[in-house]
């Protein structure tokens, strides 16, 4: 069995006085694709932010590659090989595609070269020198946001709603990228509203409700858990 690279145990998190996570616990092994499923407001995005320390306060335990990170600053957690693609993407809109790709620092050894990135995202190769971030389509912006993480050397990728609002052809392209990353041994935690996108990609699923894991099951168990998913997600 692959080595465990992320363990979240009894994680609580707050934004100011708002208590948003209530004992989140789950594990992810190296090379897995794991989804956090749930309705809006269930705590899925807050979980990704809490892993990186991007919440007001957190308590519990988060172990990344064997290192307890609950009291570490965000930059130290990133240097353990964690990359975060936020829902709002966060690219530099005034810079070109290539400038966006060459700007991120290397936080760990093994970051993809720009040429490797263009091989994985052909759309970005076509737009590399001419297009500022503001002139990219939504799908191209999403690809660029993911590509920037791969430049840093991160091997644990936290991806938040990467298909939201995108055309089906772009969603399919992103699915192919996830498959390629998994083949290369990346570990991926995927927050995704589009269950039809996530289901064939993931090894395991966690259903989040009220800031904690309510259910978990493997890809093989999915057919038997459809009724439960309807109950939790309305899918």
Note the pLDDT tens digit of each residue in 45-68: 999 999 999 999 999 999 999 999
Q: Which pLDDT value is given to residue 89?
A: 80
Q: What's the pTM value of the predicted model, to 2 decimals?
A: 0.93
pLDDT exceeds 60 at position 170: yes
For residue 222, is pLDDT > 90? no
Residue pLDDT, tens place only, 110-163: 889 999 999 999 989 988 877 676 778 888 899 999 999 999 999 999 999 999
**Beta strand extents in 16-104 (DSSP E only):** 18-29, 33-37, 57-64, 67-68, 82-85
Query: What is the average pLDDT score of the chain?
Result: 91
**What's the pLDDT at 126?**
87
Write down the architecture of domain 1-75+195-235 according to CATH: 3-Layer(aba) Sandwich (3.40)
User: In the structure, what pLDDT confidence band is assigned to residue 91 with cuts at 50, 70 and 90?
Assistant: confident
pLDDT-derived band at 227, boundaries 50, 70, 90? confident
Determine the pLDDT at residue 131: 66
Q: Is the pLDDT of residue 235 over 60?
A: no
Radius of gyration (C-alpha) of the chain in whole angstroms: 17
pLDDT > 90? residue 4: yes
Gap between the Cα atoms of 194 and 196, Å rounded = 6
Spatial neighbors of 62 by CB under 8 A, at least 6 apart, are 6, 7, 8, 9, 11, 50, 51, 68, 69, 70
Measured CA to CA, the distance from residue 213 to residue 105 in angstroms comes to: 34
Q: What is the pLDDT of residue 214?
A: 93
Residue 212 CA to residue 168 CA, distance in Å, equals 31
- The two beta strands, 82-85 and 156-160, are parallel
The pLDDT-based confidence of 94 (bands split at 50, 70, 90) is confident
What is the average pLDDT across 23-40? 95
The domain ranges of the chain are 1-75+195-235
* Least confident range of 18-22, 101-105, 190-194: 101-105
Per-residue pLDDT, averaged over 180-186, amounts to: 95
Main-chain phi, psi angles of 205, to 5 degrees: -125, 140
Q: Rounded distance, CA 176 to CA 32, Å?
A: 15
* Segment 95-102 mean pLDDT: 90
Q: 38-72: string of b/e by CB count within 10 Å (b at 16+)?
A: beeebbbbbbbbbbbbbbeebebebbbbeeebbeb
């Amino acid at each position: 069995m692959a080595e465990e690279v992320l363990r979240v145990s009894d994680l609580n998190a707050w934004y100011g006085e708002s208590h948003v996570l209530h004992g989140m616990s789950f594990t992810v092994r190296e090379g897995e694709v794991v989804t956090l499923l749930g309705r809006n407001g269930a705590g899925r995005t807050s979980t990704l932010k809490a892993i990186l320390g991007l919440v007001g306060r957190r308590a519990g335990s988060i172990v990344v590659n064997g290192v307890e990170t609950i009291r570490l600053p965000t930059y130290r957690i990133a240097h353990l090989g964690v990359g975060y693609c936020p829902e709002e993407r966060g690219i530099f809109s005034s810079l070109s595609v290539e400038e966006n790709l060459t700007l991120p620092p290397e936080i760990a050894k093994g970051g993809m070269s720009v040429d490797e990135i263009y091989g994985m995202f052909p759309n970005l190769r076509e737009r590399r020198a001419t297009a500022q971030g503001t002139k990219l389509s939504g799908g191209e912006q999403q690809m660029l946001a993911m590509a920037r993480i791969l430049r840093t050397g991160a091997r644990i990728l936290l991806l938040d709603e990467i298909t939201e609002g995108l055309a089906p052809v772009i969603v399919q392209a992103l699915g192919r990228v996830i498959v390629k990353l998994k083949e290369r041994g990346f570990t991926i935690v995927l927050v995704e509203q589009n269950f039809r996108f996530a289901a064939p990609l993931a090894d395991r699923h966690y259903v989040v409700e009220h800031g904690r894991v309510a259910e978990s099951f493997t890809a093989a168990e999915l057919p038997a858990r459809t009724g439960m998913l309807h109950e939790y997600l309305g899918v």
